[in-house]
Amino acid sequence: MFIQSLRSALFYLLFLGQTVILAIVVGTIAIIARRRVELNWRIGQYWGESNKALLRWIVGIRTEVAGSENIPPGGCILAAKHQSDWDIFAILPYTVRPAFIAKKELMNIPFFGWAAASLDTITIDRSRGGQAIPAMMEDARGAIARGCRIVIFPEGTRRAPLAEPDYKWGLARMYVELGVPVVPVALNSGLFWGRNSLILWPGTARAEFLPAIEPGLTLEQFQSQLVQTIETNSDRLALDAVDKGLSRPVTPQLRERIEAARVRTGRQA
């Protein structure tokens, strides 16, 4: 654990350091040249790929992504489980021209907010509750018209692996209003890089793009299918990793969630 703590500290130092530097670079470009989407997107690609390399070579987290053939051409929505920052690095190469949905307060951070604004970021002001939805929908409609793939984490925040789901209704409303396919994304990254975790653990983090949910369902039908699809497949990916053996300590809380997932899936150790 001591060695892995040192490796994790080195990763965080390099990850946060280069993130700050690149945010300053992209934010400065945004001030000078306004929307230089192509240049800023290339910098964003470098950021994601370099962080995956740091994760692999410093802390031992490898990346596997499957199912990209399920992403339809043109504008669509990628709806992913969210367990760590790795999720962004894993999804980013498949977005072509991404439009991430982000909290409005993030846009107020100097340089970072300017960098995000120079791309196709869609903001949502959570303090306004349901009144924030129309403005988000208008921005999302514009992003789809520009050929973006909207990236959204429908639970709104990072969740612990195998924890009880907490899906919001914003994506379901967007699905009904925009009438575009939604690609669910399952993953198991929280087993290796947990939320608020100071130590990162070696292993293979996996993400999987699942068959798209086509337009035409009701709000309730879509929500039910989305949750079922993402949760069932995230359970599968997590249990695959558990059965292969984890290098991290298994806490009583995690062990309880693992056993609950085995019951849900009918899968024995």
172-229 pLDDT, tens digit each: 999 999 999 999 999 999 999 998 889 999 999 999 999 999 999 999 999 999 999 9
Residue with tokens 């399920």: 70
Least trusted range by pLDDT, from 37-41, 163-167, 230-234, 247-251? 37-41
Side-by-side strand order, sheet with 122-124: 61-66, 203-209, 182-187, 76-80, 149-152, 98-103, 122-124
pLDDT recorded at residue 111: 63
DSSP β-ladder status, 203-209 and 149-152: unpaired
Least trusted range by pLDDT, from 88-92, 118-122, 181-185? 118-122
Query: What is the C-alpha separation between 170 and 102, in angstroms, rounded?
Result: 13
Query: What is the C-alpha separation between 231 and 228, in angstroms, rounded?
Result: 5
Which two tokens mark 4? Answer: 């892995």
pLDDT recorded at residue 129: 63
Query: What is the C-alpha separation between 213 and 203, in angstroms, rounded?
Result: 30
pLDDT recorded at residue 154: 93
- Candidates 116, 111, 133; CA nearest to 124 is 133
pLDDT at 8 over 80: yes
pTM, to two decimals: 0.91
Rounded to an integer, the average pLDDT of 77-86 is: 96
Q: Percent of the chain scored above 70 by pLDDT?
A: 88
Query: What is the C-alpha separation between 8 and 148, in angstroms, rounded?
Result: 34
Domains in the chain and their CATH numbers?
1-265 (3.40.1130)
pLDDT at 36 over 60: no
Taking phi first (over 0 means left), then psi (-120 to 50 degrees means alpha), and beta for anything else, what does residue 266 get? left
- Candidates 62, 70, 52, 246; CA nearest to 161 is 246
* CB atoms closer than 10 angstroms to residue 145: 9
Which two tokens mark 230? Answer: 């993402």
**Helix (H), strand (E) at residue 6:** helix 2-33
Query: What is the C-alpha separation between 182 and 151, in angstroms, rounded?
Result: 10
* CB atoms closer than 10 angstroms to residue 219: 12
Mean pLDDT for all residues in the chain: 89
pLDDT recorded at residue 117: 66
- Mapped onto helix, strand or coil, the DSSP state of residue 166 is coil
CA 43 to chain centre: 18
- Rg, Å, the chain Cα set: 19
Phi, psi of 154 (to 5 degrees): -65, -15
Phi, psi of 69 (to 5 degrees): -65, -15
CA 141 to chain centre: 21
pLDDT recorded at residue 37: 62
**Structural contact between residues 162 and 254, judged by C-beta atoms closer than 8 angstroms:** yes
Query: What is the C-alpha separation between 178 and 123, in angstroms, rounded?
Result: 17
